[in-house]
Amino acid sequence: MKILSPLCSAVFASLLLPGLAVDEVECKKFGEIYADGTQMMEKMWDNAFKVVPTGEPSYEQWWFSSLNPNNDVTELIFGTPAPTNCGLEYYHKPGNATPHDPSPENAAQSECLPWITSSCCDENTVLDTQTIKEAYGKNYEWDRCGPISQGCERFFVQEACLYECDVNAGKYRLCSEDDIANSETKDIGLGYNISCNDNGYGNRWQIYNMPVSKMYADAWYRSCENDSFCAADGGSFFSCALRYENSDAFKQQQQQQPQGDPEIVTEIVTVEEEVPVLPGWAIALIVVGGVAVVAAAGLAVFTNVVVSAEKAGTPMFQPLNPGSAA
Ligand SMILES: *[C@@H]1O[C@H](CO)[C@@H](O)[C@H](O)[C@H]1NC(C)=O
Ligand SMILES: *[C@@H]1O[C@H](CO)[C@@H](O)[C@H](O)[C@H]1NC(C)=O
């Protein structure tokens, strides 16, 4: 991919290298990132969830009865029975363009047990905590700021189970098939628009405003109070993942360089050409806008542009390689 002109390379290098190392993604305690459970829940998941007052209809992220109580919640909110197909796509079974029915899983999986009789996720996707944590790649691991307590981690597992396995999550898909066909954009209050069909990939994975209770959100927040999480972009998991992706690529390139190599700056930029982590037009933006950017402020601006651009223009979850699904 020959995107970077020499000018662009120079700008790119000046944005990445001085002082503000791109490999450092800021970590803070949950309590410093978010004001409360509501802000945590909504900000972390980019408004996939909406926190509602305890007692109002909201979806359970875990339960102990034999029937899924979320089916009743859907009935209460929409006045229609729970959907009969899964609606969401990504790691949802078993694959692409057509919706699929939830089906039983066997007991091989030790997580997401409530959904075992009727599940939109394959048991291999949610085999255990480790599998869930690593499912979307290193940049989506929730303990990038260091090991987190088990009490805190449980909530990430529960969220994953609800999202991956619950048929009702499909009721909250952001983009309908019509939206995808018409390449609609959606403004969900993130400061940029979401594309329903970018690069020809339908956004069938994203959910928006699924109600969860304030009690649950606050319990999550309290359980994580002494744990650390990525603070980038106010603690958005998706923005953080993008930072980690860029930072991991950067570190990998650094490791490939001999120590003290005077050519390192040139080398990093050269390698950057071979492993593009930015969409081409975002790099074009840097060329146009980047020259005027003062170096000190450069990284922040650069990162914000890229984060917004990436989220607006490229699905956070790229389609999986057929075969690579866990
Ligand atoms: C989102 O798109 C709408 C129209 O589709 C536009 O009016 C609005 O300015 C856009 N918002 C952003 C943040 O780009
Ligand atoms: C966090 O640390 C404080 C102070 O040590 C302690 O009182 C509190 O119980 C801890 N919270 C959790 C959830 O571990």
Read off the pLDDT of residues 111-154 as tens digits, 9 standing for 90 and up: 899 998 899 988 888 889 999 999 888 999 999 999 999 999 99
From atom 5 of ligand 2, which residue's Cα is the shortest distance away? 226
Q: Identify the residue whose C-alpha is closest to ligand 1 atom 5.
A: 185
**What's the pLDDT score for residue 145?**
95
Residue 230: both structure tokens together: 């990525």
pLDDT of residue 317: 52
Rg (CA), the chain: 21
Which atom in ligand 2 lies closest to the alpha carbon of residue 224?
13
Show the DSSP H helices in 166-279 as ranges: 177-181, 214-223, 237-255, 264-274
Ligand number with the minimum distance to the CA of 309: 1
Averages of pLDDT over each 10 residues, the chain, 326 residues: 33 40 81 97 97 97 92 98 89 62 77 90 87 90 95 96 94 95 95 90 93 98 96 94 88 74 42 40 40 41 44 44 32
Identify the pLDDT of residue 32: 96
State whether the beta carbon of 223 lies less than 6 angstroms from ligand 2.
yes
Q: Which atom of ligand 2 is the closest one to the Cα of 151?
A: 13
In angstroms, what CA-CA distances link 8 with 108, 169, 225, 255, 284? 51, 43, 42, 23, 8
Spatial distance between the Cα atoms of 144 and 240, rounded to a whole number of angstroms? 10
Specify the ligand 2 atom closest to the Cα of 149: 14
What is the domain partition of the chain in residue ranges? Answer: 6-24+240-313, 34-173+208-228
On whether the CB atoms of residues 201 and 315 are closer than 8 A, the answer is yes
pLDDT value, residue 290: 38
pLDDT of residue 109: 64
- Nearest C-alpha neighbor of 314 from the set 201, 184, 233: 201
Q: What pLDDT sits at residue 255?
A: 83
What is the pLDDT of the chain when averaged over all its residues? Answer: 77
Bridge partners (DSSP) listed for residue 187 = 193
- Point out the ligand nearest to the CA of residue 187: 1
pTM of structure: 0.75
Alpha carbon of 31 to those of 144, 231, 306: distances in Å?
Answer: 17, 11, 27
- Our answer on whether the CB atom of 150 is closer than 6 Å to any ligand 2 atom is no
Q: Which residue has the tokens 């309290």?
A: 222
Distance CA 178, CA 212 (A): 27
Number of residues that make up the chain: 326
Centroid of ligand 1 to alpha carbon of 185 (angstroms): 8
Closest ligand 2 atom to the C-alpha of 152? 13
Residue that is written with structure tokens 């899964």 in the block: 86
71: helix, strand or coil: helix
The answer to whether residues 180 and 157 touch, using CB atoms and an 8 Å cutoff, is no
Bridge partners for 213 per DSSP: 52
Q: How do residues 5-33 score in pLDDT, each as one tens digit?
A: 333 333 333 344 444 455 578 999 999 99
Name the token pair of 57: 């209809």
